[in-house]
Amino acid sequence: MDLIGWAIFIVALLVSVMLHETGHFVLAKKFGMKVTRYFVGFGPTIWSTWRGETEYGIKAIPLGGFVKIVGMHSLDDPDDPADEARSFRSHPAWQRILVLCAGSAMHFLLALLLLFGLALGVGIANDNVTQLGTISPCVPTSLTAYDNGTCGSGAPASPAKQAGLRPGDVVTAFDGHPVSNFTQLGDAIRDVPPGSGVTITVRRDGQLVTLHTKLASVSGRSGSYLGIGPGVLFQVASPLGAIEYSGTTFWQVLAGSAQAVTAVPRAFPKLFAKNPSSAPGTGQVITVVGAAEATGAEVASNDGWQYKVSFVLLLIASLNIFVGAFNLLPLLPLDGGHIAVIIYERIRAWLARLRGRPDPGLANMAKFLPVSFSVFIVLMLFSLVLVASNIVNPVNLTGG
C-alpha cells in the first residue's frame, strides 16, 4: 500500500508537469507561434513522434518537461529564417507574457478542480473537532511498522492506550493547552519532546476527564508519538459551497506557502536536527520526496477512505498551488524571470519614446546568463539539501 501511495503521487506529479507544459503549448499555438518540441522528462529520448511541425516525446528522467518555442529570446535564432515571423520574440509583449503565465495557470486550474471535486464528491472534513477515531494498541517498533499500522514483536502499549483514551473521546486540552481542532492537537503533540509526561483532558459521555501518560517515539520518525487517529466527519458540499471552499482553500494555501518560504531561513539550521519541529516556528520543510513519502504513509494507514482521499487530493492541490506561485517569482530561469525581462524591455522602450529615441529592442540575454545560471545552481543545491533533510527526518503530516 505504501508503494501504491508513492505511485499515486508520482503519476499526479507527472500529470501536473504535462499540464504545465500544455499550458505553454496551447497558448503559443493559439497565438501562431511555432512550437517544435513537446517533451516530458529530461535526458536521453525514450520515445518520440512527429505530428505536423512538432515533435512529441518522453525522456528518461521524469523530473520535469519542456516545450520548445522558436525564438524564446534574443539568443535563440530559428533554424529557418522564414520562421522568424512566427517566433516567440516577434509577438506582442502581452501575448508573450500570457504564454509564460499559462504554465502556472494550469497548476492553479488543476488545484481548483481538485478542491472542487473533493468538496462535491468526497466531502469537506470538519477539522473543527478533536474527536478520536482510532487508538493505536502499541508503539510501532519501526517506521515501516508505523506506515503499515502494525505493532511488531514486543511492542509496548501506546501512550494513548496507557492513558485510557477511547474512540469517540473529544480532546479539549493537551498538556494544559486548549485545542479546538486536530491540527492544533497534532502540533501540540509534536511540540512536546518524547518521554515527557503530559495530561490529556477529554469530554466523555458529557463529562470532562483528565488522563495522564508519557509520550513515546517511533524510530525513524520525527516528533513525539501518542497513538491516536482523528474521527473526522465529512460533509458533501453543494455546487456553490464547493466553489466557495475551492476559493477559500486556494487562498489559504497560497498565503501559507508564502509564510513557509519566508520561514525557511529560520528553519534551515534545524533541518537535520533529531526533532526539527520541536521548536515553534521551525517546522519541517516538505519537498517532493517528503510529499511522496507522506502520501505513501497515508494510503498505507488504517484511516478511512474519505480521510485518505481527502489527504492525497489536498496535498496534490497544495503542491500545484505552491509550484504555480513559485514559478512566477521574478527569477531567471523561472517563467516569472522571463516575464520580468519582457516588462523591463517594455519599460525601456517607453523611456526611449519619451526621449525621442528608437526602441532598443530585445534585451541581451547573454548579460542575464550568469545570473540565471547562479540562481539555477542555488535552487538546485537548496532543493538537494531540503530533500536530504526529508530523508533524514521523514515528514509527518498527520497527528500523533
270 or 370: which leads in pLDDT: 370
Number of Cβ within a 10 Å radius of residue 2? 17
Under a CB-based contact definition with an 8 Å cutoff, are residues 26 and 32 in contact? no
Amino acid at the residue 129:
V
Distance CA 100, CA 77 (A): 19
The answer, yes or no, to whether residue 296 has pLDDT greater than 80, is no
76 or 118: which leads in pLDDT: 118
Distance CA 263, CA 282 (A): 8
pLDDT band, residue 344 (cuts 50/70/90): very high
Helix (H, G, I), strand (E, B) or coil at 327: coil
Distance CA 358, CA 371 (A): 27
3-state helix, strand, coil split of the chain in percent (to 5) is 50, 20, 30
By C-alpha distance, which of 10, 103, 113 is closest to 62? 10
DSSP codes, 44-60: EEEEEEEETTEEEEEEE
pLDDT band, residue 214 (cuts 50/70/90): very high
Q: Which CATH architecture has domain 132-231?
A: Roll (2.30)
Q: Name 69's bridge partners.
A: 35
Distance CA 64, CA 187 (A): 33
199 or 8: which leads in pLDDT: 199
In the chain, the percentage of residues whose pLDDT exceeds 70 is 86
pLDDT band, residue 283 (cuts 50/70/90): very low
Q: What is the pLDDT of residue 391?
A: 60
User: In this predicted model, what pLDDT tens digit does every residue of 223-259 receive, in sequence order?
Assistant: 889 988 877 678 889 999 999 999 999 999 999 888 8
Q: Name 207's bridge partners.
A: 204
Q: What is the pLDDT of residue 24?
A: 96
Under a CB-based contact definition with an 8 Å cutoff, are residues 145 and 152 in contact? yes
Outline where 149-302 has alpha helix (H).
Answer: 159-163, 182-191, 239-267, 288-299
Outline where 201-287 has alpha helix (H).
Answer: 239-267
Indicate which residues carry an active-site annotation. Answer: 21
Give the residue-averaged pLDDT of 44-72.
90
Give CA separation, 206 vs 161, 162, 176, 202, in Å.
21, 22, 20, 10
Q: Residue ranges per domain, the chain?
A: 1-34+70-125+239-400, 132-231
- pTM for the model stands at 0.75
Q: What is the pLDDT of residue 153?
A: 74
The answer, yes or no, to whether residue 280 has pLDDT greater than 50, is no
pLDDT band, residue 354 (cuts 50/70/90): very high
Query: Which three three-digit cell numbers place residue 286?
Result: 516538505
395 or 64: which leads in pLDDT: 64
The owner of cell 488545484 is: 111
Number of Cβ within a 10 Å radius of residue 144? 14
Distance CA 65, CA 58 (A): 9
Query: Which three three-digit cell numbers place residue 333?
Result: 530561469
Q: What is the pLDDT of residue 215?
A: 93
Distance CA 331, CA 382 (A): 15
User: In this predicted model, what pLDDT tens digit does every residue of 99-143 receive, in sequence order?
Assistant: 999 999 999 999 999 999 999 998 887 766 788 888 889 988 887
User: In this predicted model, what pLDDT tens digit does every residue of 2-13 receive, in sequence order?
Assistant: 678 778 888 888
